[in-house]
């Protein structure tokens, strides 16, 4: 299961749940002992001198291994920013995305994986919404540092007058990652009228390969990922225009910690990231990777 699929499942579930339900207030677990206390607390992290921060595996431009096997990317640099702010060394761990974000929080933040993977102190790139926060009472979601957004990458010569929008794909071809949010969205538009023009691939990289080869005119996906894979290629452009009928086309991104054990840590990390958002350091990291950055919604 890819991270894109995992995230899409979360967003789709949120859309369905919040429709007609209103906003949820955070309820806290009644017991903060035993199984609810995992990992180590803030004081122990400072005392031992390093922090373990989890990033997602093979998820460029946020976190991936370069040709030398080193972890690089936006979230790796933000993890270093957090460690520097705390005054400790960084140990960054790349973790595979599971079936959905709830499972990732359980495996990597507040319980640990049944195969023996221990929890990390901080997990990066966690989509924030109140329903996810409500469901995962043993994880603390905070430290919002960017706004993720769905966009369309396209071959400029195919759209000489204006950028494509979803309605363009009644007559033009588009590729998506299979079982992703753009896949669900485009499939459901206009009672399925776009389906004949949609090509699905296992990964976003494979969908972009179709665009490069001229097999489709556009690709819909997460904006920063499209920008990364098509960086510095004047044949293509990326636009994040209106997406009619999609109630959640963008969402805030933050971090997660164990709610009880690492409550003080979550406050400290939130302060570090909030300061970095305000003084432009987070945006500078995005821009250094050739990416557009939007301030996170609240």
More confident residue, 108 or 116: 108
Asked if residue 290 has pLDDT above 80, the reply is yes
Q: Confidence class of residue 27 from pLDDT cuts 50, 70 and 90?
A: very low
* Torsion angle, alpha carbons of 91, 98, 250, 294, to 10: 10
Q: Confidence class of residue 63 from pLDDT cuts 50, 70 and 90?
A: very high
Asked if residue 30 has pLDDT above 90, the reply is no
Q: Confidence class of residue 118 from pLDDT cuts 50, 70 and 90?
A: confident
Query: Token match 């997602």: residue?
Result: 56
Q: Confidence class of residue 31 from pLDDT cuts 50, 70 and 90?
A: very low
Lowest mean pLDDT of 31-35, 162-166, 225-229, name the range. Answer: 31-35
Mean pLDDT of the chain: 89
Asked if residue 53 has pLDDT above 70, the reply is yes
pTM for this one? 0.86
Q: Confidence class of residue 25 from pLDDT cuts 50, 70 and 90?
A: very low
Q: Confidence class of residue 129 from pLDDT cuts 50, 70 and 90?
A: confident
pLDDT at res. 23:
36
More confident residue, 284 or 129: 284
The CATH number of the structural domain formed by 149-239 is 3.40.190.10
Asked if residue 10 has pLDDT above 60, the reply is no
pLDDT at res. 117:
65
More confident residue, 282 or 14: 282
Structure tokens at 66: 């370069």
pLDDT at res. 14:
47
SS (H, E, C) the chain: CCHHHHHHHHHHHHHHHHCCCCCCCCCCCCCCCHHHCCCCCHHHHHHHCEEEEEEECCECCCEEECCCCCEECHHHHHHHHHHHHHCCEEEEEEECCCCCHHHHHHHHHHCCCCCCCCCCCEEEEEECCHHHHHHCCCEEEEEEEEEEEEEEEEEHHHCCCCCCCHHHHHCCCEEEECCCHHHHHHHHHHHHCCHHHEEEECCHHHHHHHHHCCCCCEEEEEHHHHHHHCCCCCCEEEECCCCCCCCCCEEEEEEEEECCCCHHHHHHHHHHHHHHHHCCHHHHHHHHCCCCCCCCCC
Which architecture characterizes domain 3-15+34-147+249-288 according to CATH?
A: 3-Layer(aba) Sandwich (3.40)
Pairwise CA distance, residues 57 & 259, whole Å: 24
pLDDT at res. 6:
57
Per domain, the residue ranges of the chain are 3-15+34-147+249-288, 149-239
Pairwise CA distance, residues 74 & 61, whole Å: 6
Q: Confidence class of residue 114 from pLDDT cuts 50, 70 and 90?
A: low
Is 149-239 in the same CATH topology as 3-15+34-147+249-288?
yes
Query: Token match 């090509």: residue?
Result: 199
Asked if residue 115 has pLDDT above 80, the reply is no
Question: What are the pLDDT digits (tens) for 209-256?
Answer: 999 999 999 999 999 999 999 998 999 999 998 899 898 899 999 999
Structure tokens at 210: 């179709």
Contact 108, 56 (CB under 8 A): no
Peptide bond into 61 cis (omega under 30): yes
The percent of residues above 70 in pLDDT, for the chain, comes to 85
Summarize the confidence of residues 261-275 as an average pLDDT: 96
Structure tokens at 12: 């789709």
Pairwise CA distance, residues 56 & 34, whole Å: 28
Length of the chain as a residue count: 298
pLDDT at res. 8:
57
Pairwise CA distance, residues 212 & 230, whole Å: 9
Summarize the confidence of residues 178-194 as an average pLDDT: 95
């Amino acid at each position: 299961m890819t991270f894109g699929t995992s995230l899409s499942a979360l967003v789709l579930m949120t859309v369905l749940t919040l429709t007609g339900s209103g906003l949820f207030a955070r309820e806290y677990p009644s017991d903060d002992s035993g199984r609810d206390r995992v990992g180590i607390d803030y004081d122990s992290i400072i005392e031992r001198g390093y922090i373990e921060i989890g990033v997602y595996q093979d998820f460029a431009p946020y976190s991936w291994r370069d040709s030398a096997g080193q972890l690089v990317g936006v979230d790796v640099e933000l993890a270093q920013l957090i460690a520097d702010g705390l005054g400790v060394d960084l140990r960054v761990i790349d973790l595979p995305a599971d079936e959905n974000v709830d499972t990732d929080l359980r495996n990597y933040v507040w319980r640990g994986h049944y195969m023996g993977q221990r929890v990390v102190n901080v997990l990066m790139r966690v989509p924030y919404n109140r329903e996810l926060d409500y469901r995962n009472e043993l994880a603390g979601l905070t430290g919002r540092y960017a706004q993720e957004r769905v966009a369309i990458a396209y071959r400029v010569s195919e759209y000489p007058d204006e950028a494509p929008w979803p309605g363009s794909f009644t007559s033009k071809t588009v590729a998506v990652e299979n079982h992703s949010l753009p896949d669900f969205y485009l499939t459901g538009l206009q009672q399925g009228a776009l389906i004949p023009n949609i090509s699905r691939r296992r990964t976003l990289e494979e969908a972009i390969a179709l665009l490069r080869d001229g097999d489709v005119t556009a690709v819909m996906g997460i904006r920063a990922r499209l920008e990364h894979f098509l960086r510095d290629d004047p044949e293509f452009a990326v636009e994040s225009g209106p997406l009619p009928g999609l109630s959640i086309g963008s969402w805030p991104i933050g971090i997660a910690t164990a709610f009880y054990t690492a409550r003080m840590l979550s406050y400290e990390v939130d302060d570090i990231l909030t300061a970095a958002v305000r003084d432009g350091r987070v945006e500078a990291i995005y821009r250094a990777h050739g990416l557009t950055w939007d301030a996170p919604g609240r």
